[in-house]
Amino acid sequence: MKKSILLGVATACALNATVVSEISSMDDISKSGWVFVSSVSQDTTKIVQEVKQEKEVKPAPTKEFSDEAKKWLRLAPVPAPSNNKVTPQRIELGKFLYFDTRLSIDDTVSCATCHNPDMGWSDQQTKAVGVGGAVGPRNSPTIINSAYQYHQFWDGRVRTLEDQALGPIEADVEMNLSLDVLIPKLKGIGEYVTLFEKAYPGEGITEDTLARAIASFERTVVSTEAPFDKFIKGDKLAISTVAQEGFELFKAKGHCTDCHDGFNFSDGSFHNLGLGDGDEGRVKVRRGVTKLFGAMKTPTLRDVTKSWPYFHDGSVKTLHEATAICGNGGRFADAKGLSSFIVDRGLTPKEIDKIVEFMKTLEGEPMKLTIPTVFPK
């Protein structure tokens, strides 16, 4: 039987000081040949500015914001590799592919089945459900802001969206379609041949162009302005007093920013929350690094109200319970590999409620998206 490829694009809840070195800096990414898209339209059918030179792209002006605001706002442009600059043609093609169920063995499952825009770009299932009702080993993580992540999948086994894109297609518990079958299938669809030629002139339909097209669409899935963003920009009435108190608890007593920091509310690293489910997590990728046993990638908290259930095992349905686990020492304090950041902070139920009220302010308006209903023929 084909080896299952675990589902996901990002997510879990925290970082161990021992693995900070795994996080690449933006400078490192820049030196490795990445460029940055200065603006990605929320409506993926509109023209997207194509970056010509990395040095030509500058972050949005920040002088009008305080240092505190700069930390929490999405000011940096969306990163993209130099061989896959975001263009309207690539987004259009990638969007068709993302929602097309013909990328699965029985034409029933698409990328959007597990990463549904109406469900916080997740699926609100405990574990991912693929073709024929097959149940995957982990929860489907949201793909919001995944372009900003340094690692993909819960265990971070690949770095880029391009590297991630094809895994679920071949995974036997997901779409279960061999690329050796899919590529000829796509080549037999005339309108796809035309779309690929427009997006990647002269390159044809290959595994590489397929992955790059899907990744191009996924780069448009970014968080929109939320009430918290308006608050941090200076509108003190944008969120309630209770939410403001929750934000202070989030930063101080709760130590939530140990793992959920910056505009994406994620450190991009890996932590064991003491869930006790036995999943080896990151250690399967970093063999020999025993401290990474059970460690999973910290999820974004943007639109977190929509992407339940929580954690890699999908075992928690409410933000209150999730916050209690992360803030008060984990589900099992003696769990093997428990992150050093998962400490009992003594958060009271009332304080947890306030933190939850704050996290609700991270929900923005749905991105403008026209979902295809008619596909290439």
Catalytic residue set: 174
Contacts of 8 by beta carbon, 8 Å cutoff, 6+ apart: 128, 138, 139, 140, 141, 152, 153, 154, 312
Rounded to the nearest 10°, the torsion over CA 137, 138, 144, 150 is -90
Three-state SS sequence of 87-112: CHHHHHHHHHHHHCHHHCCCCCCCHH
SS3 79: strand
Other C-beta atoms lying within 10 Å of the C-beta of residue 247? 22
**Cα 264–chain centre separation:** 10
Contact 37, 77 (CB under 8 A): yes
∠ CA(322), CA(328), CA(331), 5° rounding? Answer: 60
